[in-house]
Amino acid sequence: MTKLPERRLRWILLALCAVAAMRVFIFAAGFPFFNNVDEQAHVDLVIKYAHGKPPGGIESFASETALNLAVYSSPEFFVAPESYDGKYPPPTWLLPPEDRQRVLDNEIPFWESRPNHESCEPPLYYALAGAWFNLGHLCGLHGLTSLYWVRLLNIAFAGLLVWIGYKTARVVSPIQSFFALATATLLAIWPQSSFYSIQGDSLSPIVFGITFLALARVLQSDRPPVLLAIWLGLTLAATCSVKTANLPLVFVITLAMIFKAVRLSRKGEFPCGLSILLAFLISAAVPLGIWVVWNVNHFGDLTATKSKIELLGWTPKAFTDWWSHPIFTPGGANDFWAELIASFWRGEFIWHRERLTTWWSDAFYWTASTIALGIAVASLIVRKRSEPNRALLWIALFSFISLVGFLVLLSIRFDFNDCPYPSREHPYFTSGRLLNAAAIPFFLLFAYAIERVGIWTKREWARWALLGAVVVLVLSWQTSISAPVLTSRYNFFHRSSK
C-alpha cells in the first residue's frame, strides 16, 4: 500500500476519534441509570472519593448515593415491561411530591443498609471520576445531570483510546498506513458497554495503552532514556491502580524489560540496560508498594480482595480440586472462550432482563477473533526474526493471553456456592470487560491479521474489504440492538420530560 500523506492521516485520525466520541456520547447518554454491571456500587465510590473519603474497608452505601439510587434508578434493566402491564412507571423525579417521598422512604434505608462489595477496588479511576464530579458541581451541575457528567467522561476516554492505538500502531509498523488506520478504526467502533457506564473498566485500556506505547518506544530505542523507563513504570503502576485484574500485565511488561536489558548487555551496553531496568522497577514498585500497604492496613491483604471474596460467599478450593473444573473439557473450554470474547466485544448489559445481543453477533465476535488471533500467531511464527515489529506483536499477544489466563485461574480456584455469577452451575469468569486493558494489543493483532490476509491474497482491496465488513457489521449490530434504549424516559435525553 502506498503510504498516505501525513496531513491526510491526521485528518482521518481526527475523524475516527470523533466517531468514537460521538458513539460513546449517544449510548452513554441513552442508557439510563443504573445498569446491571454494579453501576450503583461504582457511583457510590465516585461520590465517596469526591468527598475525600475513600473506603477503609467494606462500607455501606453513602446517604448521598442512596438518594441518587432512589430518585434516578430505572427499572428497565432488571424488570420486563410485562410486569408493568407493558408500560413502565414514570421516573421518580417526575412523581408528585407525596408519591416521590414515599419512594424515598422505602429506598433510601434499603441502600444505606447494604454493603458496597466494590469498596476494595483500586483508587485511580474513582479519584479521577470524583474530581470530575466535583468539577461538574462547580459548573452548576447537580442531580441526574451530574451523574451523566461523570459517565460522559468516557467520551474523552474513547477518543484518547483511538489516538493512543493509532500512535502505537505507527511505532510498531511505521511504514504501513493501513495497519495504523485499521487499529484506530477497530478501536473507534469497539462496542464495549463499559464505556456507557460509570466504572473503572473504561479507563483500563487508556492507561495500559500508554504503557504499551512507552514499552514499544523502549524496545525500539538503541539507548532508551531513563526518563522513558520511569514513565513506563509509573504507567504500569497506574494500570494496576485502576483494576486488580490487570496485575498479570506486570509480569508481561517486566519480562519484556528484562529481555531488553539483557539485549543491551550483550551489545556492550550493560550500564544502560541496568539503569533502565532499575528505573523501571523502582518507579513501578513505589506506587504499587504504597497501594499494597494501604490494602494491608485497611483490608487485611495485599490486593484488598479477601473481604470482597468473603462478602460474595466464595470459598477457595483445594489445589487438587482445580483440575476437575469443566473448563478443562472441550465443551467447557468452548463455552468459556466464546462467552468471554463475545463479552469483550459488546459488554454485559441487559435490557428488560435480556442480554443486549444476538446469537449471530456473538458468534461473529468470537469466531472472527479466534481466526484473527490464529492468523496473527501463524504469521509471527513463520516471519523472519529480523522484522522489527515481531517482538512487539508477541508481547501484545502475551498481554491479552495473560488476562485470559488470569480469568481461567479465578474460575477454577473458587467454589462460588450460592453466588449468581459466577455460579456452581456456570463456574466461569466471562466478563470481557476484565480484558479491556489489553484492547490496544488485541486490536493490533486483529489489524495485523487483516493486513496479512491482504498480503497473502496479493489483493490490496481485500484487506480494505475485510475491514469494511467488520465495521459495517459491528456498527449495524450495535445500532439495532441498543437503539431501543434511546427512547427510555429515564435517560439523559428525556430527563426533563413529563
pLDDT higher than threshold 80 for residue 384:
no
pLDDT of res. 253:
98
Task: List, for residues 430-451, the tens digit of each pLDDT value.
Answer: 999 999 999 999 999 999 999 9
Task: Give the mean model confidence (pLDDT) for residues 197-202.
Answer: 97
Q: Give the pLDDT band of residue 497 (cuts 50, 70, 90).
A: low
Task: List, for residues 78-112, the tens digit of each pLDDT value.
Answer: 999 988 888 899 999 999 999 999 999 999 999 99
pLDDT of res. 405:
97
pLDDT of res. 85:
84
Q: Give the pLDDT band of residue 296 (cuts 50, 70, 90).
A: very high
The lowest-confidence range among 298-302, 350-354, 393-397, 439-443 is: 298-302
The 3-state secondary structure of the chain reads CCCCCHHHHHHHHHHHHHHHHHHHHHHHHHCCECCCCCHHHHHHHHHHHHCCCCCCCCCECCHHHHHHHHHHECCCCCCCHHHHCCCCCCCHHHCCHHHHHHHHHHHHHHHHCCECCCCCCCCHHHHHHHHHHHHHHHCCCCHHHHHHHHHCHHHHHHHHHHHHHHHHHHHHCCCCHHHHHHHHHHHHHCCCHHHHCCCHHHCHHHHHHHHHHHHHHHHHCCCCCHHHHHHHHHHHHHHHCCCHHHCHHHHHHHHHHHHHHHHHHHCCCHHHHHHHHHHHHHHHHHHHHHHHHHHHHHHCCCCCCHHHHHHHCCEECCHHHHHHCHHHCHHHHHHHHHHHHHHHHHCCCEECCEECCCHHHHHHHHHHHHHHHHHHHHHHHHCCCCCCCHHHHHHHHHHHHHHHHHHHHHHHHEECCCCCCCCCCCCCCCCHHHHHHHHHHHHHHHHHHHHHHHHHHCCHHHHHHHHHHHHHHHHHHHHHHHHHHHHCCCCHHHCCCC
pLDDT of res. 298:
87
Q: Taking all residues of the chain, what is their mean pLDDT, rounded to a whole number?
A: 94
Task: List, for residues 418-432, the tens digit of each pLDDT value.
Answer: 999 999 999 999 999
Task: Give the mean model confidence (pLDDT) for residues 356-371.
Answer: 96
pLDDT of res. 122:
95
pLDDT higher than threshold 80 for residue 196:
yes
Q: Give the pLDDT band of residue 387 (cuts 50, 70, 90).
A: low
Task: List, for residues 482-496, the tens digit of each pLDDT value.
Answer: 999 999 999 999 877
